[in-house]
Structure 1
Amino acid sequence: MTQKGLFKRLQDEGIPEASYSHEGGLPNERLCVEWKNNLWYVYYSERGIRTSEKDFLIEEIACQYFYQEIIRMVK
């Protein structure tokens, strides 16, 4: 699944948009995915700090990991 497909799936499943970000940065209390320096990063942003950060070479693997994490967080 690509990033586009990931966020469509999250919308379709009713996952609150306030719980994630696909723009990276440091939004408060959100799971984030970001493309930077030829890597995909998935991390939790809280109070301006990235925690539990993982990096991936392949978009589909990063998106699958993101999906599993966001589902675990909200359910």
Structure 2
Amino acid sequence: MNGETMKARLDEAGVHPDEYHQYARPLDGFYVVPMALGWAVYYQERGVKFHEKTFMSESAACAYLITLLTGRGR
């Protein structure tokens, strides 16, 4: 899975696009972002990251974010 597939699944589930971001930005919300050695998923509020979890693959990170936002697995 990649960012486009994740976005399509979140759209289908009715998750508003403003609730998540695919690149680091100065906005509140959930993030899935590439890092030097893998991917990170976290919640950011007022510039502070919470509950950061790292993954070796984009697919695993996207699947985790879908679960966080929908309560459902892949």
TM over 0.5: yes
CA-to-aligned-CA distance 1:24-62 (integer Å, 9 cap, x gap): 23312x110000213100000001100000111111111
Return the alpha-carbon distance in structure 2 between the equivalents of residues 5 and 47 of structure 1: 28
Match of 1:18 in 2: 18
Matched position secondary structure for 2:52: strand
> Which ranges in structure 2 are unaligned for 5 or more consecutive residues?
none
Task: Normalising by structure 1, report the TM-score.
Answer: 0.83
What amino acid is aligned across from residue 19 of structure 1 in structure 2?
Answer: E
- Counterpart-to-counterpart distance in 1, 2:49 and 2:70: 19
Q: Displaced runs of 4+ in structure 1, greater than 6 A?
A: none
Aligned to 1:34: 33
Residue in 2 that maps onto 1:49? 48
Matched with 1:8 is 8
1:9 deviation in Å? 1.1
Rounded to whole Å, the distance in 2 between the matches of 1:50 and 1:9 is 24
Q: Percent identity?
A: 28
TM-score by length of 2: 0.84
Asked whether the equivalents of residues 13 and 70 of structure 2 are also in contact (C-alpha less than 8 Å), the reply is no
Is residue 26–residue 49 contact of structure 1 (8 Å, CA) maintained in 2?
A: no
